Amino acid sequence: MLIFHLKKREFILRVIIFTWEFPPRIVGQLSHYVNKLAVELVKKNVDTYIVTYHNSWIGKHEGANGVKAYRFSNPVKAQINVLTWDLTLNQEVARVAADIYYSVKVDLIDVHDWHFTPAVVSLKRALGIPFVFSIDSLEDHRSHCSNAPLSLSIKSLELSGVNEAERVVVKSDWMKHEVNRIYKTPFEKIEVVSPDSPTWIDDILKGYRKALNTLQIQESSDADE
């Protein structure tokens, strides 16, 4: 059992995972990865909440594996492009996550890729929730026109994610160097956690611990000033 000692109380780590795809909504490999991550976290006695999008299946659903998924749809139906679709979703992400936080006092958010960066940054600043920015891919690699206005907007959200997060998690050394090259993120802030490693889930939890410790150090430093 993973037990943290913080402010003289014992508790099981409570984590919200933000993802724009999660079963039964499957767009790519991220959906399968996050599903596996959530299941393995529950096995480690981590209280795990998925906050995700679905166009019709909405509400709270708890699976037999103990993963609690909160699905929501976009309140704005007509969209110009993926960016307007995404930004109008973020108000729902923040609302659902805040409801969970006030219910169980979540300790950490793990946000996957750029889509819900505005929501997680707002929650961090408003409620003091630390977050990990988990990168599956970058806009420079996804787009052939990464200097076009749409791509530049997405890149600004990626930049916000890597700058505001307590830790950045990537799946390979190559991606670690790409994040450093593109966004100048310090190497010491980036965790390389391969999903093929036999210690994968334990390494994820180590990254979570570092994120929590980083926030505590920052708060202590602010208090001393």
**pLDDT tens, residue by residue, 10-32:** 447 999 999 999 999 999 899 99
- Each domain of the chain, given as residue ranges in start order, spans 9-139+147-224
Find out whether the peptide bond into 195 is cis, omega within 30 degrees of 0.
no
The whole-number pLDDT of residue 223 equals 47
Q: What is d(CA 114, CA 96) in angstroms, rounded to the nearest whole number?
A: 18
The whole-number pLDDT of residue 216 equals 58
Q: What is d(CA 30, CA 20) in angstroms, rounded to the nearest whole number?
A: 9
Spans of the chain below 70 pLDDT? 1-11, 215-225
Q: What is the CATH number of domain 9-139+147-224?
A: 3.40.50.2000
The whole-number pLDDT of residue 211 equals 95
The whole-number pLDDT of residue 143 equals 85
Q: What is d(CA 199, CA 103) in angstroms, rounded to the nearest whole number?
A: 32
**Triad 211, 22, 85: Cα angle to 5°:** 90
The whole-number pLDDT of residue 217 equals 52
Q: What is d(CA 225, CA 216) in angstroms, rounded to the nearest whole number?
A: 15
Q: How many CB atoms lie within 10 A of CB 178?
A: 18
The whole-number pLDDT of residue 144 equals 80
pTM beyond 0.95: no
**211-216-222-225 Cα dihedral, nearest 10 degrees:** -130
